[in-house]
Structure 1
């Protein structure tokens, strides 16, 4: 393999083309992986580039890279710079991949990335890979495969005419083949002329320009063309689509599911009244896609997985580059790629990189451990598992260890092989990995700083909470329901459902390796299963509950013959922590924990508690128009359970803080301001939970404070806690500009 690579690629000057093809493939696979992660709404993936709210497509980055690398290649064309040529060819390949990945967008001048028209981008990528691969193997198209060799030997007009006539005939065959709708046959036939003869001589595809021009008055040929299309072409197209979607994702499926009254995955529904109109369930395919996306998002990967994969990848890359550098150095001792680095200096540099990386890894472990200890003792134990799953921590540790392993392998090869020239590619990549590790270290320091900074941590938790609110309650509430606040109406079963005398339970008998906190429920899937089995299913725990061993998960009413408990269990996702990305209640609980820790006697920091209530108010204001204060209609006629109401969210966000606010005028004033702000913004049907807590706060103030001044201070609503004596109810005074005193 090494000899073939040297003779076919290196000796023939095709090494830059090899780097172009490899970088093209890697960039295409990466960008497709990235857009699939964005489409799946993976929380830790960076997402789209949207500076100032404007979405910048990656075709722009590809265009810039192609222009810069292409200009540079032309500028240094007269110089012998093999390393620079390989690097610029790699940049050109990356840019070309980014551009061709959005070829359909350029062709249609609109965003058809995930539409059916978007398949044109994958076809363009396949064509580019095929042509580049043929060039790399030394196969040239018409006109570049020695067609003019005969004319070079015999410079006569007859020979020139024959050569030009042969080229014209071959190009005509290619044009006819393409007009018959045989794109791949025509393109590959430019390299293998017999394919052009076959493609041009056979019937054209139905719908092609040739068929429209030549078969309009020939029904027999049209029928024969359609028969061949169904017999031969459609299986090939199906296989191509399978390969396309395996690499790039599914086309023609909307990214976002249209809002419905009950989302397929949410906390818990309250069953609908039989008289209420039933909104349709989401499309089964779309609901399945969303459920799988939710399950992938909630099932956190082990911390060790990404670092292990990175170390293995760079270990293999180091072994491959050792062989490539040896080939570049020349098997006979002649250096193909010259380097100004001394071999001793290179070995020293690699040793420094390896030592620095292993030291940095130890420092990172120490910093993370201290940050987690501080977070658990000073902030909240709920926050620590969330921060442990941060992608920046796994990437940092993985890159540090990978750089260490990579540098060790290259340095060991230098010491053992006794080569006289420096490994240029390996050393360059080691230096690049060092810079990447440095940037990751900066990002890790910023993330650890967020843990130590309670204000930034509160903002992060609030942002996660807003995301979960929008995901769980996509539609804004428009009108108040008419049923009572705590009622849960049991629906009548559909036609064919049996009486509820036959009842069974599904219990948690096998512990989940991911934890036992219920994180998500596939309600649409349970509804379909219950309808198929002719039963009614009641979900017993709620989202965020810890499910004990042998606890009841489902109560199934109806004929038990077709019930499959393992399928019901597959509709649940368990985990270790009720994180803010799961539901709004988890975000509220995490922020409340920070406020309670601040109000504890050991810390006694009411200012931090006021900051926490600022974000609690923001989340409740976001929830208010989206959550019904009472039971709401549901499309799930065979699934029963309970869900959190507006009163539940208000209780989660404020009751514990109210209990722990004894003796703190600042916290009581801020809490009163929170209730008053919500009461002014919410409709009347959402006022009872707020009024009840305002009354409880008044009674608490009357019990705790005896002096008229203290009672007056604690009874005032103040959005700053203690920003002024009269708080938000103070008199509005005229403002004055500051005047500099006269000298």
Structure 2
């Protein structure tokens, strides 16, 4: 041990660091023992330092010691003073321990020493001990571990750029890891970079900033993050709490705090506005998500890249073939065979391109005629369509350029590198073709298509309605939304119309409500948004009505708060997902197709989406805080209407569809609170009247009036499940 200490600590000049760590640990253990004795009210132990009745926290003593020792260390930095360095490092360690022991007090600006918030002080101490221990062992963080040694040797700008790029990449990984809520992984990863790669790659913690920014519209990732938190992190946290409380005493004990006087909200107090930066970031993300790239853009980019790459690789192959033998192509490869292989690749790629056009056209025709016209733009904007066409065409161009150069140059050696790249591109194209076939097959399979649309709709629900009602069974009266009116001239109002057509289309896809709230507050006006999401806005139609003084109103800024497009897709709003599924059900119920089984499948997904929507729509109505925006927003009754009324009208003569629709309404009534029952009760009464009109026989009326989640799975539907499932041999009487 003595030899190791001498070689590792003393010989490497780390003795002051050793004194700092030892003094830090001893001071922390002593001060924790002291406060626990004071808390236990031990009579023989000195109490708090209270000169004149004022309690002086030990963070003040630590602050003074850190300032004095830190100043002295800087002052004697140019002198060889090993003894003084060790003494001052010890004083610095004692002061740091006293300060970090009350880190929570500094963070929260109140005495939370024994409260739950006080655990942050112990976490800070653990971090300080870990970092100091790693430095003592000679492990340094990125940027201090010899990263610039290569640059010190050759002093070239290329080396400096590579070193700085590597450091920037590692710091970016550390920032992502910390934003994902992995504090220890990020801090220790600064010393061991592989930990940063793992931390940045894996899912973030549920309440981390990364999760709030990136997982808002990804419920599957949210659920996975919560599962990992519960399965892996909670046991570790419980173990850490045991260690903390064994070392530092029990936290969470109520402390007597001075009562804080309640300050009444004065009349006319400025209302709280949405955060400007977060609002801008979310709106840009929304615009980027809804912007539909042209179908031709990606194929053109890939073709240009393949053309440039082919020319560069031809030059590289020529250079390699003409070198002095350091690197050479294999002369044993027949040039004619290489040319034939490239021709086969080019022909295969142009054939695959034709198959893509044929398959896409057939899928769109089938979708428009047999399923729903809304499926056509959804399929058209699928990324795999653009990537497939682009990859097939770019591989074709690449192979043609290489083959042309081989035929015209008359070289003696085969272009091995270029041919290998062409073969690799052909394999990538083959995998893309498999994915394209799978996607087209999904369109032809109504079950998978419905599941795909429902998944997009569910993601949109979580994005538009992030909060769910916590008490779905209780009847909570939603507070009325008050419109704040600024004093101004009477009758000052104006309208803003659609004067300039959007090149992307005229269907309203998104409204930046938080941004409009900020603008309306700063202008002192009230803004009413007239069209709703999903509506087609005609030329010169009124978009906004602005009430209040008009001097500061900027119409172009309000126009920038809208996004227009050419189609209302499930990725835009939940209503679009419901409409697409309803269209599939209506097409199945049409006389030309007459497939009630597909309509029942569609209603399965409609029920699932409505069950997801119900608590979230209710929570938004109760918690809405936008006070300067009025406009049409879909209500719970709107979603029920979109999902059920058209199917009810088309269900004439179909007992199976009527039974499944009744089951949908009954399930929602049982799950939703009383304030959401009226639209459901009205549809159930209309369905009863329809059954009485359409069916005359007693058996038919009884069958059509049953609630069956399978449509026609049993005679009495869900009400007939009265026989228990018995396993084994029944006991003898």
Give the TM-score band, short-chain normalised. Answer: 0.5 to 0.7
1:101-112 correspondence runs (5 A):
none
Q: 1:407·1:430 contact (CA, 8 Å) conserved in 2?
A: yes
Aligned residue for 2:462?
Answer: 470
Q: Structure 1 residues 417 and 179 mapped into 2: Cα distance closer, same or farther (>3 Å)?
A: closer
Find the partner of 2:431 among 439, 443, 466: 439
Q: Specify the SS of the correspondent of 1:504.
A: strand
Do the aligned residues in 1 keep the contact of 2:331 with 2:414 (CA within 8 Å)?
yes
Structure having greater relative contact order (Cα 8 Å, sep ≥ 6): 1
* 1:278/1:634 contact within 8 Å kept: no
1:255 equivalent to 2:187? Answer no
Any idea what the Cα deviations from partners look like across 1:549-576, whole Å, max 9, x if unmatched?
A: 1100011111111211111111100111
1:371 to 352, 357, 363: 363
Would you say 1:502 and 2:492 are equivalent positions? Answer: yes
1:189 pairs with 2:144: no
The equivalent of 1:318 in structure 2 is 310
Indicate yes or no: 2:677 matched with 1:674. no
Cα shift at 1:658? 0.5
What residue ranges of structure 2 are gaps of 5+ in the alignment? 1-137, 158-163, 181-208, 217-265
How far apart are residue 281 of structure 1 and its match?
Answer: 4.4
Q: Does 1:427 align with 2:382?
A: no
- Among 613, 616, 620, the alignment partner of 1:623 is 613
Q: For 1:266-415, what aligned pairs fall within 5 Å after superposition?
A: 280-330=272-322, 336-338=328-330, 340-415=332-407
What secondary structure is seen at the aligned counterpart in 1 of 2:404? helix
Look up the SS of the partner of 1:399 in the other structure: helix
Distance 1:244 1:319 in 2: 37
| 1:684 lines up with 2:674 in the alignment | yes
Aligned-pair CA distance for 1:641? 1.1
Q: Could you say if the C-alpha distance between residues 420 and 441 of structure 1 is closer, same or farther in structure 2, counting changes exceeding 3 Å?
A: same
C-alpha separation in 1, matches of 2:684 and 2:503: 44
1:178 Cα deviation from its structure 2 partner: 12
Q: 2:708 aligned with 1:708, yes or no?
A: no
Are 2:574 and 1:584 equivalent residues in the alignment? yes
Instruction: Calculate the TM-score normalised by the size of structure 1.
Output: 0.63
Given that 1:488 and 1:642 are in contact with CA atoms closer than 8 Å, whether structure 2 keeps it comes out as: no
Q: Does 1:610 align with 2:620?
A: no
Cα distance in 2 for residues equivalent to 1:397 and 1:573:
28
Change (3 A) 1:318 1:180: closer
- Does the CA contact (< 8 Å) of 1:669 and 1:721 recur in 2? yes
The question of 1:520 aligning with 2:483 is answered: no
CA change 1:360–1:629 in 2 (3 A) is: same
SS of equivalent residue, structure 1 residue 652: helix
1:585-626 deviations in Å (ceiling 9; x for gaps): 110000000000001111111010000000000111111221
2:620 is equivalent to residue 665 of structure 1:
no
Write the distance in 2 (CA, Å) between the matches of 1:477 and 1:363: 49
Aligned to 2:186: none
Q: Is 1:542–2:505 an aligned residue pair?
A: no
Alignment coverage as a number of residue pairs: 505
2:336 and 2:329 mapped to 1: Cα distance? 18
- Which residue pairs with 1:566 in the alignment? 556
2:717 corresponds in structure 1 to 727
Cα distance change, pair 280–179 in 1 and its aligned pair in 2 (3 A): closer
Q: 1:418: which partner in 2? A: 410
| Residue in 2 that maps onto 1:201 | none
1:359/1:667 Cα in 2 relative to 1: closer, same or farther (>3 Å)? same
Q: What are the Cα deviations for residues 657-685 of structure 1, in whole angstroms up to 9, with x where unaligned? A: 01110110000000000011111111111
Distance 2:475 2:620 in 1: 7
| Contact kept in structure 2, 1:458 and 1:612, CA below 8 Å | yes
2:624 corresponds in structure 1 to 634
Distance in 2 between residues matched to 1:617 and 1:186, nearest whole Å: 64
Map 1:57-136; keep pairs closer than 5 Å: none
Secondary structure in 2 matching 1:632: helix
What is the RMSD of the two structures over their aligned residues, measured on CA atoms? 3.6
Aligned partner of residue 725 in structure 1, secondary structure: coil
- Equivalent positions of 1:223-242 (< 5 A) are none
Gaps of 5+ in 1: 1-174, 195-236, 262-273
Contact 2:530 2:544 in 1 (8 A): yes
